Amino acid sequence: MKTKMMKSSLLLGAGILLLMSAVSWAQMTKYQEDQRLNMEAHVGKYTGHAKDAEANYRRYCVGCHGVEGDGEGENTPWLDPQPRNFTLGQFKCRSTPSGTLPTDEDLYDTIARGLDRSVMPIWNQLPNQDRIDLVAYVKHFSSKWVTEKPGTPIQIGPEPEVTADRVKAGQVLFQKLECWKCHGVEGRANGPSSDTLQDDFNRPIKPYNFTEGARPKCGSTDRDIYKIFMTGLDGTPMPSFSDNVKPDEAWDLVFYLRTLQPKNAYNEKERAIAKQLGLKPIDPNVPLPASSGGQP
Amino acid sequence: MNLYQKSSVVLSSVVLVAVGALMLSGSVSAAPPSGSSITGTIKLDGTAPHQRGIDMSKEPSCAAIHKDKPATMEAVVAGANGGLANVVVYISQGLSGNEAPMSGDVTLTQKGCQYIPHVVAVDASQHMKVVNADSTSHNIHPQPTKNQEWNKSQPPGSAPFDVTWANEEIAVPVKCNIHPWMHGFIAVVKGPYGVSDDNGAFTVPDVAPGSYTLTAWQETYGTQTQKVTVAAGKATNVDFTFKAK
């Protein structure tokens, strides 16, 4: 019975609010805007405040991401890839499952890291406080940050030692999970589905080419690569594989992917093992052994 | 509790229920399935537009499944007697909000690099199973506007996904990026619904007697609505006709 009363009073309250908003809708949205400017972000010991980021946003971000945060800045018509539309609350680089909001730290890392092969530069020259304030500002553009909580970050255990067995198991996974359909048998981004890929806005998009030496968009470390295929890049064709790859197997795939890259700061061991094994690119026409790894 | 307390509790309950009923318009108890339903046929007036054939040569395992009868697009699927398939029929106005949820699970199967059914309807309270019956990987990538978007890989032989939807949305497009011709729709409905079969026939089960607005949605032709009064204990007939464009 109490709930009933609460419901009725809630309804009454809602009715009054509706009336108020009918009187002045513009004021209501201004009110919401002000409310959202109270948005905070938390990374380590830092607390970011959206209000404090307004000047930096207008100075550094507005040209591409736009006054409204909708990715419609004055540079946008000339950009490919297009700037992120923050009002959708959808982000590529996350430590959280597909379909959930990223953590504040994910956004903070993206701002610091920049996005390779786009015009989004590295912003780590900005003081930490400024960057965390900008994270809060990015969040204030979407009501999702009011109605939803970020996803629970996936658990990434300690990285095991790279072994020949793990590299080989990773190669089996690469074939079995059909990574090659888009990324190609040698990781050259020339798989059979590569030329028809589109992002969520039906714009053509290319898969990552492992052989070019470019940094993956969401980070270069082993843990970053682990995160990329275990959470997916939302808004792009890259799905999450976490339902069908066990946490330990994921490292095998990371190690194999390293062998496809040219020499970099992270893949010395993997490349040496591949050389020693005389590892050849996969042949999708040769069926995998029945007992191969990666069985879901 | 003495008699006086009891009666005052009863009295105040009655008053509260009356007020609550007024404010919430009949949300007091869940309407049990009444045995009454809405049935009918969706017709297509005119000739269905040509549905382009699909070249699946990039995915030989799927092309082999369709080698006798090539797969085509399914934007308009007309049956033999002018019936129109894959039309979602649901109640858009008049529900009390306390209808018994549709029973059972709904399954969306990926087979022959197509979605079966091409249009699936699911109650917001139902679970939807997503099955990969192919020997190739698919990525399931719904692109909703009122629900959360996600994108997950489902390799051959892997367990079905169990999916639920928070918000009504008619309808959520779903696609597979690996096989760009694959697309379908997931209609997330609140309350009872039906989807027309190849003859255009549909049934919306367990509708309590009363007056409703019934909406029919077709992916190419959009929506149509009709008022319907459902009688107790029997099937009420409602037909829709979409004009071919």
- What CATH number corresponds to the domain at position A136? 1.10.760
Q: Look at residue A31 and tell me if it is in a domain.
A: no
> Given a cut of 60, is residue B8 above it in pLDDT?
no
pLDDT class for A6, splitting at 50, 70, 90? low
Rg (CA), chain A: 23
Lowest mean pLDDT among A50-54, A102-106, A180-184, B241-245: B241-245
- What CATH number corresponds to the domain at position A244? 1.10.760.10
Residues A84 and A179 in one domain: no
Token output for B121: 């309807």
Measure the CA–CA gap between A153 and A94, rounded to whole angstroms: 8
Residues B148, A99: C-beta atoms closer than 8 Å: yes
The CA-based diameter of chain A, rounded to the nearest angstrom, is: 75
Query: Scanning every residue of chain A, which has its alpha carbon at the shortest distance from the alpha carbon of B9?
Result: A1
Residues A96 and A191 in one domain: no
Residue after which a domain boundary falls, among A147, A180, A212: A147
Nearest alpha-carbon partner for B236 in B204, B188, B192: B204
Residues A118 and A208 in one domain: no
Helix (H, G, I), strand (E, B) or coil at B15: helix
**Nearest beta carbon to residue A193 from set B12, B141, B178:** B178
Q: Determine the residue among A101, A173, A241, A242 to mutate to test chain B binding: the one whose Cβ has the most chain B Cβ atoms within 10 Å.
A: A241
For residue A204, the tally of other CB atoms under 10 A from its CB is 10
Q: How many domains does chain A have?
A: 2
Q: Look at residue A197 and tell me if it is in a domain.
A: yes
Helix (H, G, I), strand (E, B) or coil at B178: coil
Per-residue pLDDT tens digits for A115-157: 999 999 999 899 999 999 999 999 999 999 999 999 999 999 9
For residue A98, the tally of other CB atoms under 10 A from its CB is 24
For B10, list phi and psi in degrees, rounded to 5. -60, -45
**Nearest beta carbon to residue A98 from set B58, B152, B154:** B152
Residues A76 and A123 in one domain: yes
Residues B155, A177: C-beta atoms closer than 8 Å: yes
Q: Look at residue A25 and tell me if it is in a domain.
A: no
Sign of CA dihedral B26, B30, B34, B38: positive
Q: Look at residue A108 and tell me if it is in a domain.
A: yes
Residues A142 and A175 in one domain: no
Measure the CA–CA gap between B215 and A6, rounded to whole angstroms: 33
Per-residue pLDDT tens digits for A191-245: 999 999 999 999 999 999 999 999 999 999 999 999 999 999 999 999 999 999 9
Kindly list the residues of chain B whose beta carbon comes within 8 Å of any beta carbon in chain A: 12-13, 16-17, 19-20, 23-24, 58-59, 136-137, 139-141, 143, 148-155, 157-159, 161, 177-180
On average, the pLDDT of chain A sits at: 89
Per-residue pLDDT tens digits for B187-233: 999 999 999 999 999 999 989 999 999 999 999 999 999 999 999 88
Residues A1, B24: C-beta atoms closer than 8 Å: no
Q: Look at residue A128 and tell me if it is in a domain.
A: yes
- Would you give the end-to-end CA distance of chain A in angstroms? 49
Q: Determine the residue among B11, B14, B16, B23 to mutate to test chain A binding: the one whose Cβ has the most chain A Cβ atoms within 10 Å.
A: B23
Q: Are A113 and A95 in contact (CB under 8 A)?
A: no
> For A152, which DSSP code?
P
Distance from CA of B143 to the nearest CA of A (A): 8
Residues A94 and A199 in one domain: no
Helix, strand, coil % over all residues of chain A, rounded to 5: 45, 5, 50
Domain, as residue range, for A194: 164-277
Q: Look at residue A22 and tell me if it is in a domain.
A: no
